[in-house]
Amino acid sequence: EPEVTQTPSHQVTQMGQEVILRCVPISNHLYFYWYRQILGQKVEFLVSFYNNEISEKSEIFDDQFSVERPDGSNFTLKIRSTKLEDSAMYFCASSVRELGEQYFGPGTRLTVT
């Protein structure tokens, strides 16, 4: 069964460094999303992406964050100048259509020290 994959499973970085979290959505999906979950808190929407453009973004998704679909398979989340409060589990999701079922990856645990 097709699935969303994410790499790495765990990323440790120092405060101020840039990180790129990678996701491979399901191949025929067109809509892509990033969510995050700070330990003990809710899963929070970050951004949705369609047709090489951001469709919607949350207040969390400020200039520190960017997303890109650099080729036909990967979907990346870049965090510039990481802060301690960026430590969280980051989930990628994809969907075949708007308002369709979102399929989630297993997440990348980001630890900023």
Partner 1 sequence: AQSVTQLGSHVSVSEGALVLLRCNYSSSVPPYLFWYVQYPNQGLQLLLKYTTGATLVKGINGFEAEFKKSETSFHLTKPSAHMSDAAEYFCAVSDNTDKLIFGTGTRLQVFP
**Which residues of the shown chain bind partner 1 in the complex (CB under 8 A)?**
3-4, 31, 33, 35, 40-45, 48, 55-56, 58, 91, 93, 95, 98-99, 101-107
Short-list 77, 85, 91, CA closest to 37: 91
The answer to whether 62 and 85 are in contact (CB under 8 A) is no
Q: How far is the CB of 84 from partner 1 (least distance, A)?
A: 21
> In the complex with partner 1, which residue's Cβ is closer, 29 or 82?
29
> In the complex with partner 1, which residue's Cβ is closer, 18 or 56?
56
Q: Which amino acid is at 83?
A: K
> In the complex with partner 1, which residue's Cβ is closer, 20 or 44?
44
> In the complex with partner 1, which residue's Cβ is closer, 15 or 43?
43
Q: What is the three-class DSSP state of 7?
A: strand
With tokens 């960017």, the residue in question is 66
What is the rounded (10 degree) CA torsion for 104, 68, 75, 92? -20
Q: How far is the CB of 75 from partner 1 (least distance, A)?
A: 14
Cα–Cα distance, 25 to 3 (Å, whole number): 7
Q: How far is the CB of 31 from partner 1 (least distance, A)?
A: 6
Q: How far is the CB of 1 from partner 1 (least distance, A)?
A: 11
